[in-house]
Chains A and B, each alone.
Chain A
């Protein structure tokens, strides 16, 4: 009986997470077009539904009904599996993201009381798990680009892989400062340690505020998700669409889905690690449910993605790689050394 109860809890939370993420991905595409439209003094999508609200459904249905083209000379098995290899890590990364505190006990007939908690699972190596998955996601891109038998795809895949691994170093090491202060890799524990007002959030907390690390993380996250101004792997003006040039229909949609799910995931991680997760900025605002604060902070990051895209022109590839290796890595290393020294004196 207990095992069935646990299974119900696991399946229930996975269901909630999947539906939430997929809905967010769908409406993120809509929101991006709207925000970009407004920033360029346009209206964005207006035709399908009230102010274009049904646009994501129309897009999804269209992609679903499109022909699935596998180019001649492509490696069929790898070509068809690469999008799924990209999609799975992007989705299951959300397994360790906590969106609130407390628990909810519901009595179920036949099974008994089951206790739901606001995360799928609490790994003691949560951050390492998320970083590992983001590395696995690069395989989908690289294999998809290689298997397409197209020059644009191959170049796009290579560029993407080189860019992702370069910026992943900065992304991973920018989190070490917070780990030093928190003493844990579990996202739940890190978020819980930041209760009691924004001055306890690691971006602003003593002994050494991680605000620089937050900025570095933000830059690395934009590069990691292949977004403008770092979207060289899919630069329209030179590589057509990069690694997914040859993809069509649902397989194309999976790459798209993975990119947007990754955007949400890196925003969630930034929220939990640097900005206190579900905690309110002031203790007197604690009556507002944690999930609202969590989503608000995530939306701020996502809006930042759109804003940067609308504002900055694309970099050149050599600038991108040089920036990653010669600016980001020394800065994150310096941040680690300074934080560890500050933390040492703080402890004594």
Chain B
């Protein structure tokens, strides 16, 4: 029945997450009553091997990371498709096998393309 389904198996996970959060925040809270607090300007400087930090810390970073993130999205979606396929493989048989070999083959074309373009090289 739509609207009546209560995902009961997930209730323990919600409770667990709340307990884990309370465990973490509680320790920080109790700790804040006990630990020393002697902050001064030099102590709060970001660490930079003992010298005064120069320039902004939010430096530009290489494009490579974006390429990796995009490739990750493609392959992760593929992985997400592979799980249900693997679970129902027993009941579908040959059709599932052919479909997935085709699916992986199409993906391999893109993979080889990315490889040839040097997207997988790291400098």
Number of A-B residue pairs, CB cutoff 8 Å, is 196
- Chain B 68-86 against A: per-residue CB contact (8 Å), 1 yes, 0 no? 1101100110010011001
Output the least CB separation between B24 and chain A (Å).
4
Cα–Cα distance between A32 and B78 once the two chains are bound (Å):
37
Q: Are A333 and B108 closer than 8 Å at their CB atoms?
A: yes
A interface size (C-beta, 8 A): 80
Q: Find chain B residues with CB under 8 A from A282 CB.
A: none
Q: Find chain B residues with CB under 8 A from A122 CB.
A: 9
Which of A209-217, A221-229, A284-292, A339-347 lies at the interface with chain B? A339-347
Cα–Cα distance between A70 and B44 once the two chains are bound (Å):
7
Q: Is A42 engaged at the interface, CB distance under 8 Å to the other chain?
A: no
Q: Are B10 and A123 closer than 8 Å at their CB atoms?
A: yes
Q: Find chain A residues with CB under 8 A from B37 CB.
A: 67
Query: B31 touches which one: A68, A146, A246 (CB < 8 A)?
Result: A68
Q: Is B117 engaged at the interface, CB distance under 8 Å to the other chain?
A: no
Q: Are B41 and A317 closer than 8 Å at their CB atoms?
A: no
| B residues with CB within 8 A of A | 9-13, 15-17, 19-21, 23-25, 27-28, 31-32, 34-39, 41, 43-49, 53, 57-59, 61, 64-65, 68-69, 71-72, 75-76, 79, 82-83, 86-90, 93-94, 96-97, 100-101, 104, 108, 111, 115, 120-123
What are 30 sample pairs from A and B whose C-beta atoms fall under 8 A apart? A13-B12, A14-B12, A18-B20, A65-B36, A67-B36, A68-B31, A68-B32, A69-B44, A71-B45, A71-B46, A92-B20, A95-B16, A121-B12, A124-B9, A148-B46, A152-B48, A154-B57, A165-B76, A166-B72, A172-B76, A183-B86, A183-B87, A183-B89, A240-B47, A246-B46, A325-B71, A325-B120, A329-B75, A340-B100, A344-B94
